[in-house]
Structure 1
């Protein structure tokens, strides 16, 4: 297999098809066995609410990162405000005013290193999954991370959204994407002590806190 970036049309249509055709066995978010993000187990116990499920996943990832890299007071403070004040404002609207979120089977760790293209046939394969049923847009959080090649190639995001659409409220999509990227970067920080991933997560947390739950003590420069 080649590890070149996959054909965006074929790749994104397959990812969107996985999300659209998959069906949770109990209409809940989670998975029937514990799956891993890298070497760490994820918090994938079944939950009927996307906001509740994602909040528990994020809290778990922050706990693991703190165990691996130590606790920083400033990060702990803004992370608490993200969880308590921002997440309800960002994810709550997905499940209000008659809206619902479909639990979709996602790969869970879909970066370019987990994708290969058959050199002879052009068939695309994805592997090394940390799968569970989630909001389909969570899959795209990984594509925002600066360490991956997806971030410089917006054609993949455009192709995916052309096939799958955007959840309502549409105007909150980019902020949801930033929130989902935070989750992915915190896991990367837990795996790579001293890397930039925690700093990237911190900056994105500050951005969302300043936008949705501002105070005078954490304004971005």
Structure 2
């Protein structure tokens, strides 16, 4: 079917049509070479989101498309695709199966990520079922190198993470922590207090809290983490009632790192989620350091948020 054979595309919600998304979808993606409707789902500083409805033989099919721009946009969507694929290979329907990512030919510097569209319920997932899935991901995943890291850069928003493989969790976390400090200074300008904190954290706090988990006969299994689990990346599929996670910033990590993002009340997880998770996976020894480790992990997530929104 040629473009001239297709019915016009309806771009709803008053979204500007400068991107010519209708032409791009029809001319470049075989999946969408049928009459369809494009509905804006909003945008952020680094991406635009759409629902694309396609006329199928029996009923309409809907897909989710995220569009980003530039080199960072391309790498961010590539990372999202690879991370989601890795998670989906372990926990299946807990995350949408990624369909495709790539760059548009007709729009230079414009890139897309594509997966199935889900209607979300208005309520949050129940702690027991949700944490069972998270724990399954952590316990069943295995780093292909037996090291901490990931095979490519993944992004938190438009913020690249330092994912190079390391032998120890302490080394990986230290590199990542310093990277987040540097991102804050690069994006927000000089920050003397943070620079002083950086030295104290790396020289004293990080070794004190992380090294005991990998010495004295102890070891940590690198677990695949979502890497940005907060209420904005968690939902319930209205059709099945099952929890969903999406928009990952993954790497292989200490499994408890995932919970660091749950510590801040703004992210929507209360104590019941921690309890449900640890009813399946016990706290890592030495357990007396647990609360301080979670606070340390939370600090890195807070640094990520500060770098994403400098000046706030």
C-alpha distance after superposition, 1:8-58 (max 9, x if no partner) = 110000000100000011110000111112111110001011000100001
Separation in 1 of the partners of 2:145 and 2:122?
Answer: 36
1:83 aligns with 2:233: no
RMSD (Å) for aligned C-alpha atoms: 1.0
Q: Secondary structure at the match of 1:105?
A: strand
Separation in 1 of the partners of 2:122 and 2:164?
Answer: 33
Instruction: Provide the residue aligned with 1:210 in structure 2.
Output: none
Alpha carbons 1:3, 1:115 under 8 Å: kept: no
TM norm structure 2: 0.61
Instruction: Provide the residue aligned with 2:271 in structure 1.
Output: 154
Alpha carbons 1:12, 1:156 under 8 Å: kept: yes
Instruction: Provide the residue aligned with 1:101 in structure 2.
Output: 220
Give 1:74 shift.
2.0
C-alpha distance after superposition, 1:117-176 (max 9, x if no partner) = 0123211110000111000000000001232111xx210010001111110000000000
1:52 aligns with 2:174: no
Q: Secondary structure at the match of 1:101?
A: coil
Task: Choose 1 or 2 for highest CA Rg.
Answer: 2
Cα distance 1:90–1:72, how it changes in 2: closer, same or farther (>3 A)?
A: same
Instruction: Return the match for 1:128 from 247, 254, 257.
Output: 247
Bigger strand share: 2
TM norm structure 1: 0.85
Separation in 1 of the partners of 2:310 and 2:197?
Answer: 20
The one of the two structures with greater contact order (alpha-carbon pairs below 8 A, sep at least 6) is 1
1:33 aligns with 2:152: yes
1:22 aligns with 2:169: no
Instruction: Provide the residue aligned with 2:56 in structure 1.
Output: none
Give 1:4 shift.
2.6
1:9 aligns with 2:9: no
Q: Secondary structure at the match of 1:129?
A: coil
Separation in 2 of the partners of 1:158 and 1:86?
Answer: 26
1:184 aligns with 2:277: no
Instruction: Provide the residue aligned with 1:172 in structure 2.
Output: 289
Cα distance 1:94–1:123, how it changes in 2: closer, same or farther (>3 A)?
A: same
Q: How many residues align?
A: 193
Q: Secondary structure at the match of 1:133?
A: strand
Alpha carbons 2:127, 2:276 under 8 Å: kept: yes
Does 1-10 or 46-55 show the bigger shift?
A: 1-10
Unpaired runs of 5+ residues, structure 2, are 1-119
Bigger helix share: 1
Unpaired runs of 5+ residues, structure 1, are 196-221
Instruction: Provide the residue aligned with 1:67 in structure 2.
Output: 186
Give 1:193 shift.
2.0
What stretches of structure 1 move > 6 A for 4+ residues in a row? none
